[in-house]
Homo-oligomer: A and B are copies of this chain.
Amino acid sequence: MDWIAVDWGTSSLRAWWVGHDGVIKDHRSSDQGMGTLSSDEFEPTLLGLIDDWLTPDAKTQVIACGMIGARQGWVEASYTPVPCTPSQTHLTTAPVSDPRIDVSILSGLSQTKPTTDVMRGEETQISGYLAQHPHFDGVICLPGTHTKWVHVSAGEVISFQTVMSGELFAAISQHTVLRHSVSGDDWDQDSFDTAVDVTLSRPAAFATELFSLRASDLVLGQSHGAARARLSGLLLGMELAATKPYWLGQIVILIGAPALCDLYRASLRAQGVMVDTADATTVTLAGLAAAYKHKFGTLE
């Protein structure tokens, strides 16, 4: 049977039509993220994207991951506590009126010790990576708005840690006085590298270095590209200082947007860490396929 894989985040929706042989027959995306929709719009929005993939006289299975399973989403897919095997978590059935589809949404993961934490969406990418590398033991880092650092062993997620550096960069660069000094797309890599070192070796410097980005513009005419890179570097250095138990002496797999992964890779390598990357879309699809296989016992 054909089935449909869906990654539905806050700001985007992607769907793949997967043939009974596992080959992708078609794929589509839209900017209709769950964050822009009200509760009665989820089903028509999905149908609008995939309608011509469906068969009138048979049910097609839809397996979805991401924020669509949050409390504000289509249906709340409750968190599975770690440690757990991410491909074997519970699937929650979404309420659907169209007889041509069943929709199952993957659970996120939760943790109460050593820190309280949650993830939703990344568990599918981790599951996909483990489907492709079943003997992997080590750390997976998923850079993004909320970067996840994940300790994996024997096929299970043991613990994880979320760091909001990406969202902090956006909030600080758009909603503080620094917006006047970091605007534009210029980038000075040396300034970034230096800033990572500053807060990695002395995290408290984040508090005192921040306003100097503005003052250096006013007093010294520092370029916006240097200030922008310094802000990013100060955040990443503090993140690396805080997550040292995750990466020190480990192999780290990076999964995320290539440009962002490049920044993490360079900074981790400078600390002597072995780094590899995996394609984000590939592991997302592999994770959705692992969930489909876990539920229906077959991929074909």
Query: A1 within 8 Å of B by Cβ?
Result: no
| CB contact list, A196-247 vs B, under 8 A | 203-212, 214-216, 218-220, 235, 238-239, 241-243
A168 and B164 contact, Cβ closer than 8 Å, known pairs A118-B218, A204-B203: no
- Which of A150-178 touch B at CB < 8 Å? 161-165, 167-168, 170-172, 174-177
Contacts of A110 in B (CB 8 A): 215, 218-219
Return the contact of A162 from the options B117, B204, B211 (Cβ within 8 A).
B211
Task: Check A116 for interface membership: any CB of B closer than 8 A.
Answer: yes
Contact in complex: B176, A174 (CB < 8 Å): no
Contact present for B112 and A220 (CB under 8 Å) = yes
Centre residue among A112, A176, A207 by max chain B CB count within 10 A: A207
Count of chain A residues with a beta carbon within 8 Å of a chain B beta carbon: 46
Cα distance, A135 to B162, chains bound together (Å): 50
Copies per complex of this chain: 2
Chain B residue nearest to A207 (CB atoms) is B242
> Which of B116, B118, B212 lies in contact with A117, CB distance below 8 A?
B212
B215–A118 CB distance below 8 A = yes
Interface readout for A239-275 with B: 1 if CB under 8 Å, 0 if not?
A: 1011100000000000000000000000000000000
Chain B, Cβ-Cβ closest to A70? B218
**Out of B170, B207, B235, which one reaches A241, CB within 8 Å?**
B207
Q: Is A187 an interface residue (CB 8 A)?
A: no
A36 at the interface (CB under 8 A from B): no
Interface readout for A128-167 with B: 1 if CB under 8 Å, 0 if not? 0000000000000000001000000000000001111101
Please name all residues of chain B whose beta carbon is closer than 8 Å to the beta carbon of A177 when the two chains form the complex: 146, 164, 167
Alpha-carbon distance A203/B234, docked complex (angstroms): 13
The yes or no answer to A79 lying at the interface (CB within 8 A) is: yes
Kindly provide the distance from the CB of A122 to the nearest chain B CB, expressed in whole angstroms. Answer: 13
Interface residues of A in 76-135 (CB under 8 A from B): 79, 110-112, 115-118
CB distance from A173 to the nearest CB of B (A): 10
Q: Which residues of B contact A212 (CB under 8 A)?
A: 115-117, 162
Chain B residues near A241 (CB-CB < 8 A): 204, 207
Nearest CB of B to A241, in Å: 4
Name 8 A/B residue pairs within 8 A (Cβ), A-sorted.
A111-B215, A116-B220, A117-B212, A118-B214, A118-B218, A171-B176, A174-B175, A208-B242
A116-B215, A171-B175 given; 16 more Cβ-contact pairs under 8 Å: A71-B218, A115-B208, A115-B215, A116-B212, A118-B219, A162-B211, A162-B212, A162-B215, A163-B208, A163-B211, A164-B176, A164-B177, A164-B210, A171-B171, A203-B204, A204-B242
